Amino acid sequence: MSKDMIEKWILPHLTVGERGFEPTVPIIEIEECIFYRLKTGCQWREVPTKAFFNDIILSWNSVYYHFNAWSKDDCWRKIWINILSQNSKYLDLSSVEFDGSHTPAKNGGDAVGYQGRKSSNTTNALFVSDNQAGPPFRFV
């Protein structure tokens, strides 16, 4: 994802600290590091932070801190909804595919319920894909 796309689609929806200070590292560099982790699926400790930061190098802990704070502030959902609403005209919904998933939630969570056939608490998700085999949209 280019820096222009990050500035246009993502940065306006991210929260800033309560005191209003900007981070010492540009937020775009933090975002690129987070996207690398999400794309590759590597562990947070394995993110090559030196490759993403120019002047000051953050540790993986600092990158995770920002990701976690933005997750708790619901920023990622706001970004997703904004991108979908702005680009819905490009979705081909003439053929839609649904797929459901029931995943055991051993540590609990917000949307967890008991499911008898799995004999455990599970979290449920519904995935939707359009006719162009685009990325699946996840609805909880």
Residues 69-95: tens digit of each pLDDT: 999 999 999 998 888 888 888 777 677
* 34 and 49 co-located in one domain: yes
| pTM of the full structure | 0.66
* 68 and 49 co-located in one domain: yes
The residues that bridge with 120 in the sheet, in sequence order, are: 115
Instruction: Give me the mean pLDDT over the 22-42 stretch.
Output: 87
Q: Residue 110: pLDDT band by 50, 70, 90 thresholds? A: low
State the residue for tokens 């894909």: 129
Containing H/E element for 68? Answer: helix 60-72
Query: How many angstroms separate the CA atoms of 62 and 21, rounded?
Result: 16
Query: How many angstroms separate the CA atoms of 71 and 109, rounded?
Result: 14
* 8 and 64 co-located in one domain: yes
Instruction: Kindly tell me the burial class for residue 95, based on how many C-beta atoms sit within 10 Å of its own C-beta (0-12, 13-18, 19 or more).
Output: exposed
* 47 and 109 co-located in one domain: no
* 31 and 68 co-located in one domain: yes
* 133 and 102 co-located in one domain: yes
With H, G, I as helix, E, B as strand and everything else as coil, classify residue 115: strand
What is the pLDDT, as a whole number, of residue 118?
59
Instruction: Give me the mean pLDDT over the 46-59 stretch.
Output: 88
Domain that holds residue 108: 93-139
